[in-house]
Amino acid sequence: MTDAVTLRVFEAFQQDIGLGTARLDTQTRQRLKVGIGDVVEVRGRKPTPAIVNR
Protein backbone atom coordinates (compact mmCIF):
# COMPACT_ATOMS: atom_id res chain seq x y z
CA MET A 1 0.00 0.00 0.00
CA THR A 2 1.17 3.52 -0.78
CA ASP A 3 1.77 6.12 1.93
CA ALA A 4 -1.14 8.40 2.72
CA VAL A 5 -0.82 12.12 2.12
CA THR A 6 -3.05 14.81 3.59
CA LEU A 7 -3.98 17.50 1.06
CA ARG A 8 -6.42 20.38 1.05
CA VAL A 9 -9.29 20.13 -1.44
CA PHE A 10 -10.21 23.30 -3.32
CA GLU A 11 -13.15 24.14 -5.53
CA ALA A 12 -12.76 22.62 -9.00
CA PHE A 13 -11.97 24.69 -12.06
CA GLN A 14 -15.09 25.21 -14.18
CA GLN A 15 -13.76 22.92 -16.94
CA ASP A 16 -13.08 20.12 -14.40
CA ILE A 17 -16.53 19.98 -12.78
CA GLY A 18 -18.14 16.55 -13.07
CA LEU A 19 -15.06 14.84 -14.54
CA GLY A 20 -14.05 13.00 -11.36
CA THR A 21 -10.46 14.21 -11.53
CA ALA A 22 -7.93 15.26 -8.91
CA ARG A 23 -5.18 17.70 -9.91
CA LEU A 24 -1.98 16.66 -8.15
CA ASP A 25 1.37 18.38 -8.56
CA THR A 26 4.43 16.43 -9.67
CA GLN A 27 5.94 16.21 -6.18
CA THR A 28 2.72 14.76 -4.72
CA ARG A 29 2.33 12.27 -7.59
CA GLN A 30 5.92 11.10 -7.05
CA ARG A 31 5.42 10.76 -3.29
CA LEU A 32 2.26 8.68 -3.84
CA LYS A 33 3.89 6.75 -6.71
CA VAL A 34 0.94 7.49 -9.01
CA GLY A 35 0.79 8.84 -12.53
CA ILE A 36 -1.65 10.78 -14.64
CA GLY A 37 -4.63 8.54 -15.33
CA ASP A 38 -4.26 6.47 -12.14
CA VAL A 39 -7.14 6.35 -9.68
CA VAL A 40 -6.80 7.68 -6.13
CA GLU A 41 -9.26 7.81 -3.25
CA VAL A 42 -10.29 11.20 -1.91
CA ARG A 43 -11.53 10.83 1.65
CA GLY A 44 -14.04 13.24 3.09
CA ARG A 45 -17.51 12.60 4.44
CA LYS A 46 -17.51 9.66 2.05
CA PRO A 47 -14.64 8.14 0.03
CA THR A 48 -14.63 9.21 -3.62
CA PRO A 49 -12.50 7.82 -6.45
CA ALA A 50 -10.76 10.38 -8.66
CA ILE A 51 -8.57 10.10 -11.74
CA VAL A 52 -5.19 11.79 -11.30
CA ASN A 53 -4.75 14.80 -13.54
CA ARG A 54 -1.85 17.24 -13.89
pLDDT, tens digit, for every residue of 20-49? 999 999 999 999 999 999 999 998 899 999
Residue 38 covered by a domain: yes
What are the Cα distances from residue 1, in Å, to 4, 10, 44? 9, 26, 20
Number of domains in the chain: 1
Residue 9 covered by a domain: no
Q: What is the pLDDT of residue 27?
A: 94
Q: What is the pLDDT of residue 50?
A: 96
Residue 5 covered by a domain: no
Instruction: Label residue 54 by pLDDT band (50, 70, 90).
Output: confident
Residue 1 covered by a domain: no
Q: Which domain holds residue 30?
A: 14-53
4: pLDDT strictly greater than 70: yes
1: pLDDT strictly greater than 70: no
